[in-house]
Amino acid sequence: MLRINSEAPNFTAETSQGTINFHDWIGDGWAILFSHPKDFTPVCTTELGYMAGLQPEFEKRNTKIIGLSVDPISSHSKWLVDIEETQGHKVNYPMIGDTQLKVAQLYDMLPAEAGDTCEGRTPANNATVRTVFVIGPDKKIKLMLTYPMSTGRNFDEVLRVLDSLQLTAKEQVSTPVNWKPGEDVVIAGTVSDEDAKKKYPQGWKSPKPYLRLVSLDKKPEPVGAK
Ligand code: BEZ
């Protein structure tokens, strides 16, 4: 069973951009793997188009994106044409053709009893293949979000979580509810007040001793400033 901090299982797969070894493809950066039950499904069409539009934002964050659908890449290539036509964005990221349900099973999105072929499978019996995985440079799973087939995913939220994950990987902070980049962050409980004073000489708000909120943007006041 996969959990946050599990190693993202490695695999070799055919994609719309050639064969990849997943871990090698990730390289030293971050990655997002997002899955789809079947090609030519309406909600997924909108999702893949939106991700194509967001790809430059992920690139700015040193993050590669890769889709997966339980159909062959010959079918993906036809679907990708429709996606560009209807969603206005060309899909430039690879799409895995998971014809043997290998990745879907490896990532616990389908049970072993689902067998080893996509043939004869319907969107409904692949409906659980709708997960977003965020994977760190250490190849560990940082986030898993599984959506129902009737609800399009919020990929702006995935970008927001990625910003939080990347910030909290380098600073001893966490991010509060609905946080967006630039807003106050929470000083980690592992940082003593004494150390926090050194790190954040600008000071912080502390409505409770366990809740210390600091702005990372605020520069310390110059000495002698009024
Ligand atoms: C979709 O509309 O994308 C969809 C339909 C059925 C199952 C899964 C996804």
Topology, domain 171-214: Antioxidant, Horf6; Chain A, domain 2 (3.30.1020)
Is the distance from the beta carbon of residue 127 to the nearest atom of ligand 1 less than 6 Å?
A: yes
Per-residue pLDDT tens digits for 152-178: 999 999 999 999 999 999 999 999 999
| pLDDT tens-digit series, residues 130-141 | 999 999 999 999
Does residue 224 carry a pLDDT above 60?
Answer: no
pLDDT score for 221: 54
**Is the CATH number of domain 12-152 3.40.30.10?**
yes
Which of 34, 36, 38 best tests ligand 1's pocket when mutated (most atoms within 8 Å of CB)?
38
Q: Residues with catalytic annotation? A: 44
Expressed in angstroms and rounded, the spacing between residue 221 Cα and the centre of ligand 1 is: 54
Structural Rg of the chain based on CA atoms: 21
Would you give the DSSP letter of residue 126? Answer: G
User: Rounded to whole angstroms, how far apart are CA atoms 225 and 207?
Assistant: 26
Q: Is the CB of 123 under 6 A from ligand 1?
A: yes
pLDDT digits (tens, 9 = 90+) for 195-205: 999 999 999 99
Q: Distances from the Cα of 156 to the Cαs of 36, 44, 54, 63, 159, in angstroms?
A: 18, 15, 8, 14, 5
Going from N- to C-terminal start, the domains of the chain cover 12-152, 171-214
89 Cα to the center of ligand 1, angstroms = 20
Q: With a 6 A CB cut-off, is 44 part of the ligand 1 pocket?
A: yes
Ligand 1: centre distance to CA 68 (Å): 13
